[in-house]
Amino acid sequence: MRGASLRAFRQVRRSQTTGRFPRREIKKLMAANRGEIAIRIFRAGTELGIRTVAIYSKEDMRSVHRYKADESYLVGEFNTPVGAYLDYKEIVRVAKENDVDAIHPGYGFLSENVHFARLCEAEGIAFVGPRSDVLNQFGDKTLARQLATKHSVPVVPGTESEVTTLEEVKEFLTSQNVEFPVIIKAAHGGGGRGMRVVRREEDLAEALERAQSEATSAFGNPAVFVEKFVDRPRHVEVQILSDGHETVHLYERDCSVQRRFQKVVEIAPSVGLPTPLKDDLLNDAVRLTSAAGYACAGTVEFLVDPLSWRHYFIEVNPRIQVEHTVTEVVTGRDIVQAQIQIAGGASLEECGIPNQDAIETRGYAIQARVTTEDPDDDFRPDAGRLQTWRPAEGNGIRLDGGNAFSGAVISPHYDSMLMKITASALTFEKACDRLTRALRETRIRGVKTNMPFVLNVLKHPTFRAGDATTAFIAENPELFQFPKSADRASKLLAYLGDLAVNGRKAVGATGASTPRYAAVMPPDASEEEVAEVAPGFKKAAAGLKQILEKEGPSGFAKAVRERKGLLLTDTTMRDAHQSLLATRVRTKDILAVAPYASAAIGSECYSFENWGGATFDVCMRFLHECPWDRLAQMRSAMPNVPFQMLLRGANGVGYTSYPDNAIFKFCDVAVKNGMDVFRIFDSLNYLENMYLGIDAVGAAGGVVEAAISYTGDVTLEEKDSTTKYSLDYYLELATKMKLRGIHVLAIKDMAGLLTPRASRKLVSALRSEFPDLPIHVHTHDTAGNGVASMLAAAEAGADAVDVAVDSMSGLTSQPSMGAVVAAVKGTSLDTGLDLSKITPLIDYWESARMSYAAFESGQKSGSSDVYNHEMPGGQYTNLLFQATSLGLSEKWPQVKKKYAEANQLLGDIVKVTPSSKTVGDLAQFMVTNDLSPEDLKAQAKTLSFPSSVVEFFQGALGIPKGGFPEPLRTDVLQSAGNPRTFSGRPGAELDPVDFDAVKTALLKRHPELRVVKDTDLMSAVMYPKVFDEFQDHVQKYGDVSILPTREFIEPLEAGETIDIVIERGKHLVVKLLGVGTLDPKTGSREVFFELNGSPRSVLVADKHSTEKTIVRPKADAHVPGSVGAPMPGIVIELRAKHGQQVDVGDTLLVLSAMKM
């Protein structure tokens, strides 16, 4: 409690001049302002039984303050947004026409305009503020300084009167021997507008110009004054209240936490100031205002040097302050009501304040201004639609809101403040905690706010110690380091809203509509009676993963070779869905079954193939998921089984050659994030490309599984010794790879060309040649021979074969897991797997597959003609899907025929991604242009071939067996302008990737990353454009991987409700209520939702609309020369002309933007 002990220093002063205002009854009160302060005035008036009147600009037609008043009137219909509230003549006219007795100016706008006050006085309207002569004295900062000096209130050295020219400023500095830094301040206004600190003489002219421009825009007067700048002071202000006869203070406030002279957080009373200093501040404030004959509320502002505890008068703000709320809370006094009563002639005693001793403080109050400013972007004001408005409540919290509510459109024309939150408690520390809680509880979505920044201020030890100065923010850059608001619900609603308006977004989802069904979930892994091997994972038996971790890749290979029975690799989580469902299976559906799969079959499997290859880019490109996050989550859910991926040799997980260091880095990052076995292949079996992958995986510590890509038919040499892909060809490849230091040898049969007889012959030869090297066989079941071929391979000595869960097997996928398990049951090849444990996997994937009906190719059966066209399984499905989607299903036989012809034209090559794409592109090119092989050869010099074909003939993929066919190669390259060709490994000629430069570029392009992780880096190196698009999608729609699969693909129906788990223990219950009609002006529709029981809506552009709309493009930071405005506002002057050459720092235009 403060008061009685300092009575001697706080005598009630009597005005020597004007006295109280004339006694009058105020029946109708106008607020000549907008937003929060207008509402505050209306509330005060209503409690006093006074009818209230609002004014509003045309831009404020829907503002809350308009309908908080009893009456409201449009002003400035043909004026600018700010100008509407500055036209005091019109405002007074409206007041007189509507019998207004008093006008309260609030803060900002006309609150310190002498002409406005004089006009009110002349028209017999009470101006709720000081008399015009007093307002003039304190509104003119130089006159106020003179008065302070006269009454022995210390001031900072400065100009004796206002100045308007650079010459006047220089004259003052020279004559008074004032050194830099100095501060320029608007002479007729405050609030940080028209204020500039100048630290060097060479910056003086520009600073003066900018300060005067702001002052003119904000206060209608360019006059300024200049004074010595006190570095790192405390900013303390005293609230006074006077009826013209008696003046009291309501103690002091600390407003030191400022950014560019804008107050951020205010405290009452101050913390840490010596008691004698406080007494001096309070006495000086009362003495100065009393001497001026001040009446009404005002604030006397001081700078305090924390080293000497000397104080200097700055100015008197002859109006209500934004931060008056903290004083009201700690004193229990309604300052705005007192203003109104005093304007009606009441004495302080009639306002409930008989003397100074009646004013006491209790506890502490802290106010935070919540603004629509983005602290990540230099506090640039944001504008837009408030999707969510849920301010905090509770004990010790006061809210003073403006024009904010769910659905409100925040205008770019006015102050960015949404509301003020004031927290109070008996101690300063508790008030900090309470305000922190309130800010964290508050939910504002649709616009960016400064709340994360304010939260950092509140937890900073300097602030909590009460030691913050005006340099606090500038000296603590860590205040700008805060977690970015995820705003997950709003982003997900935007995605669902887009689906509701525009239909499916998932690329390739052109098949049947996704049915509604209940997935058949597998048993909880904890029910499996197996040993626990990893913390956090229940009862998953140890497997080859644990051997790999303990004994390394060589020990892993040895264990595989010594293993009794046949090992299986389950491809369901990668190649199976790539072949059947266009690689579209989402992480969510994999993780749902992962723990059970790990426990049921993981310990007996060679590996789970679940990453790399096409899944890497499809994750980002089409599923909008991070492939590295998928890998990490799978690793957590399946700790006992080795993970296997596809590595395209020198192509990494891409479709082109990369610099060597990129491949080495990628493999290293993959191993560190949970990858174990790397199946390394090259689309042409070009060993130079494969060697790079082998070396990179070896250096990273992964299992090197080098793959021979199989094509042709090794049994043909029994009849034709000239066959291109003979047994000796494959044995030679295997020999060279083994010499390079591989751990496992793989046979990669992408098209399913291995017949049982070919399989037996090839594997037998390899086993004989390499008795200690594990052999792993991969095939596709396109012809229906898969199970038989894998059994033959196993009988011939293969250690492991690839299979898929039955409901994801067959057709162009891998052979059936259950079929292979059953076939070898009880034999020396017994897999050790229990069919009863596989059954839940079959049931789960059969039901889960229904979610992907839109991506099914429509293939009904196997096709033995694969032995003719040799099309890889995944490509077969994709080309069939494309043909069906385009309504060309009747041409499918022709496509397959042309594929075989294209293969021969290219020299009968190995067909694996990306070489298979080259063959496919050429085949489609021939179908589209109705070309026979003879036609193509004859016209090759004049045709415009697909880029993949040109790149193949350039040698960009490597050198095929037998070289390139001539003269076709020469003709194709000639038609393409004879581009550069490669005679060796293409990547060997590439410069190393500058990883630091890539990280720098990523942070510039995607500042939301804050820190570029190695996983992000490698995604960007492998797929620069795809990664950019993925990040942009995440920024716009959030993490869509958490959406249920059906709702990821299909629009919700009106009335449909879904449950979205955003994290453990946090759910979003979303219900689509409906879609609004088309707005012809914007071409958008409003989509209405219910989110956790509360109404929400989003605006979505209707891509099917034929309405012409006006689009105002925004600056794109990624486009050179695209310049964005520092804040929204109105262009009042152009400084640059079309075609003018401009340099960094040149002024392009002048904006008028409201900023308190």
Active site residues: 319
Distance of CA 30 to the CA centre of its chain: 43
d(CA 676, CA 1055): 47
Within 13 A of 1118's CA, how many CA atoms are on the CB side?
A: 10
Q: Is the dihedral of CA 705, 706, 708, 709 positive or negative?
A: positive
Residue 801: φ, ψ to 5°: -135, 155
Q: Which residues contact 711 (CB under 8 A, 6 or more apart)?
A: 725, 751, 753, 870, 909, 910, 911
Cβ contact 319:111 at 8 Å: yes
Q: What token pair was written down for 64? A: 């809350």
Unique residue bearing structure tokens 């698009």: 1029
d(CA 1068, CA 86): 46
State yes or no: cis peptide before 412, omega within 30 of 0. no
The CA-atom distances, in angstroms, between 435 and each of 256, 374, 440, 450, 688 are 17, 20, 9, 14, 64
d(CA 773, CA 554): 10
The CA-atom distances, in angstroms, between 520 and each of 87, 594, 623, 850, 1060 are 70, 14, 23, 11, 19
> What is the full DSSP assignment across 199-267?
-SGGGHHHHHHHHHHHHHHHHS---EEEEEPPSS-EEEEEEEEEESSEEEEEEEEEEEEEETTEEEEEE
DSSP H stretches of helix in 250-334: 275-291, 324-331
Q: What token pair was written down for 102? A: 């008093």
The CA-atom distances, in angstroms, between 971 and each of 684, 907, 922 are 22, 15, 15
Q: What is the DSSP-derived secondary structure letter of residue 522?
A: P
Unique residue bearing structure tokens 């869509």: 1040
Q: What token pair was written down for 1010? A: 């804050």
Burial profile 628-656: b = 16 or more Cβ within 10 angstroms, e = fewer: bebbebbbebbbbbbbbbbbbbbbbbbbb
Q: Is the dihedral of CA 1010, 1014, 1015, 1020 positive or negative?
A: positive
Beta strands (DSSP E) in 514-615 are 567-570, 607-612
- For residue 266, the cross-strand partners are 367
Task: Determine the angle formed by the axes of helices 947-954 and 968-975, rounding to 10 degrees.
Answer: 120
Closest by CA position to 446, among listed 384, 374, 488: 384
Task: Determine the angle formed by the axes of helices 141-150 and 132-139, rounding to 10 degrees.
Answer: 90
State yes or no: cis peptide before 992, omega within 30 of 0. no
Unique residue bearing structure tokens 């890749």: 553
Unique residue bearing structure tokens 């206002």: 162
Task: Kindly calculate the radius of gyration of the chain based on its CA atoms and give it in whole angstroms.
Answer: 38
Q: What token pair was written down for 433? A: 């905690």
State yes or no: cis peptide before 375, omega within 30 of 0. no
d(CA 741, CA 205): 72
Strands 28-31 and 102-104: parallel
The CA-atom distances, in angstroms, between 179 and each of 229, 234, 930 are 9, 21, 84
